[in-house]
Structure 1
Amino acid sequence: MRAPLPPLPCVQAFEAAARLENFAAAADELHLSPATISQRIRTLETHLGVRLFERLARSVELTELGRAYLPAVRESLADLAVATSGLFGAVRREQLTVRTQVSYATTWLAPQVHEFQQTHPEIDLRLVCAVWSEALTPGEVDIDIHQGRGPWPDVNSELLHHDNAVVIHGPAHTARYGPITSVTDLAARPRVQVLGFDDVWQRILPDDAALPERAITVDTSVAALEIAAADDACAAIPERFARTAVRAGRVSLALDQTWPMRQAHYLFRPLDAPHHTAPARAFLRWLSDLEQRSTPLGKAAE
């Protein structure tokens, strides 16, 4: 019976860390975070039942068993690389994992991401939303985008986007309730509320506003957008999430205004992963350029 083989990603992490004598350098070479390298080496050590590295204050050193294992690992990886290249051609593609909320991925990234793929065909992009994020191993995410107010413990957070809100509606709304000329017209009309944005409607409407005819609460902006498009309710969502649908004619702005939100989009990084990988830096440069090129909807409310 064949002995169980160790996981290949763990073996690759071990070889790079042993050759470079540094987890951070191995992480940069493999386009991973140092936390991922450390986790994969721990997995390999658990699989083998031995310690391969001595963790020192500022460096790592191979144990005696680690030094004995390294030549066989290098030879096996080299043989695999030669066989793969000879049969299938050189493998040059890299994978980038971006974790973000469903609405950000669906309404903001999805309509634009073909640009990034055309510019960087060597990078395979993987977008992961909350429904799948728990399946990822620690350190497997290259870029982590969150919306909220902060601060957050145990992570480095960097402002990525400021957010403003707009009010949108579908064709059925004005057909039933008539045109909207001011925020006062919105007060009693049916509305969609997004969980986490509880202050948005309060910022839009006057303090003495009437109660809405009916209201529905959802947990994502994309759900609010779809309800507004298909029903006669108005929805208040982040402006960037509405751009594609408004410009495609699926929904309309209730008023040509935007309102500041307390929430914003932030870039998260673990405290032990101070540097982004090269593919991650390429994606963030593209995202910054996309932000500068994009024209927002509406005008800021006075």
Structure 2
Amino acid sequence: MRAPLPPLPCVQAFEAAARVESFVAAAEELHLSPATVSQRIRTLETHLGVRLFERRARSVELTELGRAYLPAVRESLADLAAATNGLFGAVRREQLTVRTQVSYATTWLAPRIHEFQEAHPGIELRLVCAVWSEALTPGEVDIDIHQGRGPWSGVHSELLHHDNAVVIHGPAHLARYGPVTSVTDLAARPRVQVLGFDDVWQRILPDNIAPPERITVDTSVTAVEIAAAGDACAVVPERFARTAVATGRVSLALDRSWPMRQAHYLIRPLDAAPHAAPARAFLRWLSDLEQRSTPLAKAAE
């Protein structure tokens, strides 16, 4: 059975008196009388069954047990103050939950999300990808970003932005095969295929010609990593390739991009309430980010 804790006001009086080495100074800090501080410390000593201070004519000094007790008291009071301020302080952060695909969160949002945090320090952002979606309760998602061929039945879908695809490769591809001079070159080179984007490769490659090797993955972020580390080309949405291109991990095989049939949409239940202020702030930031971003390649005609 846990021993009963000492009264908190007595513990606070002990910590203050030990820190300033004076009952009078502690009383001024706590807005109490010296007699009240002295009484509270005596109550604590009675509760513990030990003396915590040596009383002198003009000062007080911690006993050996008092010095041993002080660090634990200070840590406990600091933890209590931090927890109280975090949960019930005057400044409370609003939580915003954004659900999206792994590739969108990893390649597009993650490298830039610090901009949103700096602009909106009062919003606590939570990014949730598909692997955790089932753990969310209804109404817990504030913004739901989905890539596909909308619209979808049973929900309200709003176009967030169109996507173009680019062909990327890593240094190993250039070392083994040399630069890509035309789409015809791609027909003889290994490729990475992202599930759902088959139509893009079909439109890029010459009719009835397929590359000799193919790796199929289910996320664009995996395709980017394979292209960066291996010798295969990959077709991915342009926005997912920008950070890897900017850092030199991959490069464009061709200075062209191809429109995708898939796009990114905001998905909401038909009976959902209008977006709250934190969600509107995040969507404005996404829109501004889109306008500030320069495409990697010119669109194919």
> Do they fold alike, i.e. is TM over 0.5?
yes
Q: Which structure has more RCO (C-alpha within 8 Å, separation ≥ 6)?
A: 1
Larger Cα-atom Rg: 2
How far the C-alpha of 1:151 sits from its partner, in A, is: 2.2
In the alignment, the residues of structure 2 paired with residue 114 and residue 142 of structure 1 have an alpha-carbon distance, to the nearest angstrom, of: 19
Q: Indicate the residue corresponding to 1:284 in structure 2.
A: 283
User: Hey, what does 2:3 align to over in structure 1?
Assistant: none
Q: How does 1:265-284 map to 2 (within 5 A)?
A: 265-284=264-283
CA drift at 1:226:
0.2
CA distance in 2, matches of 1:240, 1:88: 40
1:212 corresponds in structure 2 to: 211
Gaps of 5+ in 2: 1-82
Please tell me whether the aligned partners of residues 167 and 237 of structure 1 are also in contact (alpha carbons under 8 angstroms).
Answer: yes
Please tell me the residue identity of whatever aligns with 1:199: D
Distance 1:88 1:134, change over 3 A: closer
Name the amino acid aligned to 1:222: V
Classify the secondary structure of the residue corresponding to 2:121.
coil
Alpha-carbon separation, structure 2, partners of 1:87 and 1:166: 46
What CA distance in whole angstroms lies between the structure 2 residues aligned with 1:87 and 1:115?
25
Contact kept, 8 Å, 2:86 with 2:92, in 1: the verdict is: no
- Displacement after TM superposition at 1:213 (Å): 2.1
Q: Alignment partner of 1:134: what SS?
A: helix
- What do the CA deviations read for 1:205-246 (whole angstroms, capped 9, x no partner)? 11132x312100000000000000000000000000000100
Tell me, what secondary structure is at the counterpart of 1:199? helix
- After superposition, residues 38-57 of structure 1 pair within 5 angstroms as none
Q: Does 1:171 align with 2:171?
A: yes
Looking at structure 1, the residues matched to 206 and 211 of structure 2 have their Cα atoms a distance apart, in angstroms, of 13
Structure 1 segments of 4 or more deviating over 4 A?
83-88
Partner in structure 1 of residue 89 of structure 2: 89
Whole-angstrom distance in 2 between the partners of 1:214 and 1:121: 48
**1:56-111 per-position Cα deviation (integer Å, ceiling 9, x unaligned):** xxxxxxxxxxxxxxxxxxxxxxxxxxx95699632420100000000000000000
Does the alignment pair 1:252 with 2:235?
no
What is the letter of the counterpart of residue 154 of structure 1? Answer: G
CA RMSD of aligned residues (A): 1.6
| Structure 1 pair 233–138 and aligned structure 2 pair: CA distance change class (3 A) | same
Which residue matches 2:37? none
Count of aligned positions? 219
Q: Is the 8 A contact 2:193 2:215 kept in 1?
A: yes
Amino acid at match of 2:112: Q
Paired letter, 1:249: G
TM-score (norm 2): 0.71
Counterpart code for 1:163: D
